[in-house]
Structure 1
Amino acid sequence: MNEQLQLLKPKIEEVFAYLHSHPEVSWKEVETTGYLKEFLEREGFEVSLFDGITGLSVTLGQGSPVIGLRTDIDALWQEVNGVYQANHSCGHDGHMTMAIGVLLLARERGLPANGTLKVIFQPAEEKGKGALAVLKTGIMDDIDYLFGVHVRAADELDDGYSAASLRHSAAKMVAGSISGIEAHGARPHQGKNAIEVGASLVQALQSIHCNPMVSHTAKMTMFQAGGDSANIIPGTAKFSLDLRAQQNDVMEELYVHVQRVIKAVAMQYGVDISYEVMSEMVAAEVNAEAEQLMAEAIAKTVGEEKTVRTIITPGGEDFHFYAVHRPNIKSTMLGLGCNLTPGLHHPQMTFNKESLLTGMAILMNAVELAFQSK
């Protein structure tokens, strides 16, 4: 495969250079989708666009088994050198490049000889909604094994090493508002101070206790109240909560406790606190068979000494919605060590581009092993 990789390297570098320099945010990946479609069709692949959303898929072969490879295609919106813009600081440009590389390698290797390979280019991962939208298309319904990939920060995984699974945590982003009573600063008894309510809410969140063997947190991440006048007691406020748990059942328990806390604080002050879940991610449901296949693929590519079984990470990833909503899918996500610094989502994030070829090879080997296992 090394010879095939080297022959493909110029094309892979060209693809990455374009995708990296043309980032688009969630649900607006129009030019990205267009570029992927044009490139893949020029290479002779039949492309299927999703109905009503950005993104696309490519299917090779027919029949069973059905092996899937999913990549995300959106970028982040963030400040880069003083200017707010779309920016590929999460590595999705690299993920797309590796997925294209697998298609090119599969064609060179005559895969699949029997069965079906589906490569899905999914929108809006950063919003936590893309996987759910793709599930509605039905493209995942017949998949047996599903593989994903994510570049990893240098402080989590050394360059050249790879992990057979990423165990992301569950997350909920909650937005709320407090409706109290505004009053003159000299007459606090006539008002219901939204800041005091918020302070009590912060303190009450610290009283939540779930299973201490499973990491979990609930904290306030945004609070806005009051104006320029220091002598006015603010009656209204807006806030955000960030909830994390390493397991889905603990997240369910944590959210019940958070709801109880909000209700208790509202009753204590006699105010209304409204809230809703703005976005959420489920925790990883890693399949042991898929993880084993990925471990074998890594060992085959870079050696057992550079194979890591799993990485537990507090970050979220909407890839895991597929296994949770389609329990028949055996899934795992490759963690690719690539000297990524300073860190994921940092505006100046960079990584070793040579690792893209390694990632392609690992994913190709995983796909081959999955076909052989059936």
Structure 2
Amino acid sequence: MEKSIQTSMLETFQHLHTHAEISWEEIETTTYIKARLEEAGCETITFSEHTGVVGKFGNFDKGLPVIGIRADMDALWQEVNGTFQPNHSCGHDAHMSMVLGVLWSLQQIPDMQDNVAIKFIYQPAEEEGGGALKMVEEGVVEDVDYLFGIHLRPKQEVAAGKAAPVIVHGATKTYEAVIKGEDAHGARPHLNDNAIEIGMQIVNMLGQMHMDPRVPHSAKMTKFQAGAKSSNIIPGNASFSLDLRAQSNEVMEVLVKKVDAILESVRNLYDVDIDVTDYHGVPAAETNEEATNFMRTAVQDVLGAGNVVESLLTPGGDDFHFYTVKKPELKATMLGLGCDLGPGLHHPNMTFDKDALCTGVDILTKAILNVYQV
């Protein structure tokens, strides 16, 4: 990789890292990326109702296979050193920088622009699980034949200097719900149903579910809020969140049915309203052998065959897989990049080896050249 590309990529990363924006609010990020894409000669597409930008590079009138390269844009909202702020602790700033690096690398190859058809897809709101669906609705992948993504991996999954040609994410579901009741005096517990006890009942029943242990899965309460300043009031109202994980879409369907049955049982047991106010998630990965083989060969060419991590199985989720669920004929895979990332993804002080940015660019660029047999 040319030194100028590496320098530009690091400058881009630093800018994006220090100007993080949360889901659906990536306004400055969209403006910044759009400008960089246009500087590199891309035709750009933006959207009137949401953030995100697509850059088109190459010849789309030649009947060539169309490749999409997807980068997620949004940051998390979390407490960092005592202050709540947008924070790129999932590596999306790195993903955006590497995808630009791929564009700049392709520009250095003679006659490349006339012999490829590539969409650089900068997608909002991955952390909320809805950005990919919105891009599908906008028709962004209608003409796309191959879709490549990339994600930094924690060192517990992929060691530095290694990479996985496919990440087999699990399915996720999130419930946001409220318990609706009446408060009572602390001396008169018979006059209401304690929302905290109702929450405990839900937690206990979640722990008593039994499913096939050969398929990783989990269901747990991740937020519970009840009561106020007065300690002599038994709260009747509460809000809570549930997080469901399953390694396959089939197991997730069973898990959801069981959780729904638990909530209905608790409603009947306490004769209380439990309303699910929001319900969303992402599907498990549906892998494609052809796309994975192109990426596997790229990893071998860049890092050597001994540094390929085959079929990385992870309980984490990514809305990247909505693209293939909504367009089954799309050939897609996501590169899992080892980069000495620690303490872990979503940790407020996550760090990684910035030299891995160049490695990610080299692998993605090689995968594209493999598709076009260049």
CA displacement at 1:263 relative to structure 2: 0.5
In the other structure, the counterpart of 2:78 is 78
CA–CA distance in structure 2, aligned partners of residues 31 and 233 of structure 1: 46
In the other structure, the counterpart of 1:288 is 289
CA–CA distance in structure 2, aligned partners of residues 152 and 180 of structure 1: 44
CA displacement at 1:151 relative to structure 2: 0.6
In the other structure, the counterpart of 2:273 is 272
For structure 2, list consecutive stretches of 5 or more residues without a partner in the other structure: none
CA displacement at 1:168 relative to structure 2: 1.3
Q: How do 1:262-341 residues align onto structure 2 when only pairs under 5 Å count? A: 262-341=263-342
CA displacement at 1:333 relative to structure 2: 0.4
One-letter amino acid of the structure 2 residue matched with residue 370 of structure 1: V
Q: How do 1:110-121 residues align onto structure 2 when only pairs under 5 Å count? A: 110-111=111-112, 113-121=114-122
Contact 1:67 1:371 in 2 (8 A): no
Contact 2:34 2:55 in 1 (8 A): no
Contact 2:217 2:245 in 1 (8 A): yes
One-letter amino acid of the structure 2 residue matched with residue 117 of structure 1: I
Q: Does 1:126 align with 2:127?
A: yes
Q: Give the fraction of aligned pairs with identical amino acids, expressed as a percent.
A: 48
Q: Does 1:45 align with 2:42?
A: yes
Cα RMSD (Å): 1.7
CA–CA distance in structure 2, aligned partners of residues 85 and 230 of structure 1: 31
Q: How do 1:19-38 residues align onto structure 2 when only pairs under 5 Å count? A: 19-38=16-35
One-letter amino acid of the structure 1 residue matched with residue 372 of structure 2: F
In the other structure, the counterpart of 1:212 is 213
CA displacement at 1:250 relative to structure 2: 0.9
Contact 1:5 1:357 in 2 (8 A): no
In the other structure, the counterpart of 2:363 is 362
Secondary structure of 1:125's counterpart equals coil
Q: How many residues align?
A: 370
Q: Does 1:54 align with 2:51?
A: yes
CA–CA distance in structure 2, aligned partners of residues 165 and 157 of structure 1: 12
CA–CA distance in structure 1, aligned partners of residues 116 and 41 of structure 2: 19
Secondary structure of 1:117's counterpart equals strand
CA–CA distance in structure 2, aligned partners of residues 251 and 141 of structure 1: 28
CA–CA distance in structure 2, aligned partners of residues 185 and 307 of structure 1: 61
CA displacement at 1:125 relative to structure 2: 1.0
In the other structure, the counterpart of 2:95 is 95
CA–CA distance in structure 1, aligned partners of residues 18 and 11 of structure 2: 11
CA–CA distance in structure 2, aligned partners of residues 246 and 298 of structure 1: 25
After TM superposition, the structure 1 stretch with the greater mean CA deviation from structure 2, 224-233 or 58-67, is: 224-233
In the other structure, the counterpart of 1:193 is 194
After TM superposition, the structure 1 stretch with the greater mean CA deviation from structure 2, 224-233 or 200-209, is: 224-233
Deviations 1:221-275 (A, max 9, x none): 1122223334333222211111111111111111111011110111111112111
For structure 1, list consecutive stretches of 5 or more residues without a partner in the other structure: none
Deviations 1:36-60 (A, max 9, x none): 1222222322222233211111112
